[in-house]
Amino acid sequence: MQMNLPNSLTLARIAMIPIFGLVFFLPVGWSGFAAASVFALAAVTDWLDGWLARRLQQTSAFGAFLDPVADKLMVAVALVALVAVNPSPLFALPAAVIIGREIAVSALREWMAELGKRATVAVSVIGKFKTGAQMVAIIMLLYGQPVAGLPTAILGLLLLYIAAALTLWSMIVYLRAAWLVLEAEPRERGSSASET
């Protein structure tokens, strides 16, 4: 395991998860602000560790594994916490879509990696927009208080639905790319067998 600054930031992001859970459920008026701040800090470290890894040329297999795990854990915990305090289909639906997609795509990437085709399901532009939308949406929902007269809770929920739609779209893109690989695999095996 290679420990460097980017990997240390990723581990710090994982360490923030129980802190986030603690402050979110504190019975105090400022818990929403504190939880939103912790989540925002985690989102910043998510961007920063990737940028530093490329800038300092400190990319590693451990970092490539740990970074998406840290992201998915924080997002899943935040969405489950939001559904826990807002137990309605309105919150549960986009949360289930986003968490379900993350599990499915993670399994798909692992499967493609075993076939030596991991680049086929690499992060797409749609995936990056999805990530940005869901991060902003979750921060707004965690804070929940109006800002300059803007209803952040309503805007956050709307943005969460946009993130869920982008989530489904990006999953379809990944599945189509993987399907093309799986369709081509029998043909490749057949051609290899005929050559021998």
Q: What is the dihedral of CA 114, 96, 80, 17, to 10 degrees?
A: 30
Give the N- to C-terminal CA distance of the chain in Å, as an integer. Answer: 40
- 187 falls in which pLDDT band (50, 70, 90)? low
Cβ–Cβ contacts within 10 Å for residue 8, how many?
Answer: 13
CA pseudo-torsion sign 100, 105, 111, 113: negative
Over residues 108-127, mean pLDDT: 67
pLDDT tens track for 151-181:
999 999 999 999 999 999 888 887 887 777 7
Place of tokens 């804070």: 143
Of 186 and 93, the one with more pLDDT: 93
pLDDT of 3 > 80? The answer is no
pLDDT of 196 > 60? The answer is no
Cβ–Cβ contacts within 10 Å for residue 89, how many?
Answer: 9
**Distance between CA atoms of residues 167 and 145, nearest Å:** 26
Enumerate the domain spans of the chain: 1-85, 87-187
- 118 falls in which pLDDT band (50, 70, 90)? low
Q: Does the structural domain 1-85 have CATH classification 3.40.50.10680?
A: no
pLDDT tens track for 8-32:
888 999 999 999 999 999 999 999 9
Question: What pTM did the predictor assign?
Answer: 0.83
Of 50 and 189, the one with more pLDDT: 50
- 105 falls in which pLDDT band (50, 70, 90)? confident
Question: Minimum mean pLDDT among 46-50, 54-58, 92-96, 115-119: which range?
Answer: 115-119
Angle subtended at Cα 174 by Cα 173 and Cα 175, rounded to the nearest 5 degrees: 95
pLDDT of residue 16: 94
Please give the mean pLDDT across all residues of the chain.
84
The proportion of the chain whose per-residue pLDDT surpasses 70, expressed as a percent, equals 86
Of the candidates 75, 40, 74, 56, the one whose C-alpha atom is nearest the C-alpha of residue 7 is: 56
Place of tokens 């005929």: 194
